[in-house]
Amino acid sequence: MADYKDYYKILGVSKNASDAEIKKAFKTMARKYHPDMHPEKEKATWTEKFKDLNEAYTVLSDKQKRTIYDQVGQADYQNYARGGGTSRGRGASSNANPYQQYQQYTYNGGNGFSGFGGGGNTQFSGGFSGGDFSDFFQSIFGGLGGMQGFGQNFGRSAASGQAAGDVEAELTLNLEDAHRGGNMQLTIPNGRTVTVKLPAGVSEGKKIKLKGMGNPTQRGTGDLYLIIKIRPHAMFRLEGEDLYVPVTVMPWTAALGGTIFVPTLDGPVQVKVPAGTHSGKKLKLSGKGLSSKGNLYVTLTIDVPRTLTREQKELFSRLAALD
């Protein structure tokens, strides 16, 4: 049986942390742990750290999962892992999983869907595939991870003007998922397994029609409309099809110019910083947004070193004297 994971400790927050505190902690740590932000030789280590961080945020940022996680509790889970059963599992078969009641939906994340900030399988540049949630996560939630918000909104009537029997459901994707697109296999709440083809660069609010997957009527079965929602990202801000990302540069790079690495949804790219760059300057990377029609806007911030060597202090002093 898998070891218990303390998601609060992984995120560095208290058990009473608010949603805003959890989101802030994840954003801060995600920038530190993201594999693409580290040298190639260190990526394996940071990949594992990031997978734990991502899993913790997947649970604690979702009210339903967080409630379930808190109900399970460390003592109850560890007792079950040792073979002693749980308060919710007593009287059942010793081989039964007492947490199966929570495993409502199934999800096949083999195509790289969900993950950075909340779901199944994220693929980063450098070959990282974070889709394998830990055994601990799977023992409690099964495949629930890939369908953020799906159950809550499934089954509402479709917009006026659509046929009777049509229903709508929100399908929440992570930014990387929406950017890449591809085939996604999922089991919808009526029990049917379907394959949804997402176009690359699918935007917020777009509807994907699944013919004949709605509610039955006297005239036949209606259609299911999946409404795309995109989760907030720890690194990028999305506006339409454009992305915005802050990047820090050292004072000497800003003054003299140089080359820096900038994160994109397809991995880091090299970008030239012009000499005499001031803090707040924006660089435009065409076609690097949510889709090929969108752009990535990089806001540069000059990062002043917190600690300086003796030589660096002398050099800055000499610069100050020349002013």
> What are the residue boundaries of the structural domains of the chain, listed by start?
7-230, 237-322
Residue range 237-322 forms a domain whose CATH class is mainly beta
The answer to whether the CB of 123 falls within 8 A of the CB of 109 is no
Q: How confident is the model at residue 192 (pLDDT cuts 50, 70, 90)?
A: confident
Compute the mean pLDDT over every residue in the chain, rounded to the nearest whole number.
75
Which range among 105-109, 139-143, 180-184 has the greatest average pLDDT?
A: 180-184
pLDDT at site 71? 82
pLDDT digits (tens, 9 = 90+) for 266-317: 888 999 999 999 999 999 999 999 999 999 999 999 887 778 788 888 888 8
- Give the integer Cα–Cα distance in Å for 168 and 170: 7
pLDDT digits (tens, 9 = 90+) for 194-226: 888 899 999 999 999 988 887 777 778 888 888
| CATH architecture, range 7-230 | Sandwich (2.60)
Rounded mean pLDDT of 28-41? 78
Amino acid at 65: K
Instruction: Give the residue with greater pLDDT, 122 vs 53.
Output: 53
This prediction has a pTM of: 0.54
Q: Provide the b/e sequence for 281-294 (b: ≥16 CB within 10 Å).
A: bebebeebbbbeeb
Q: Provide the b/e sequence for 70-109 (b: ≥16 CB within 10 Å).
A: eebeeebbeebeeeebbeebeeeeeeebbbeebebbebbb
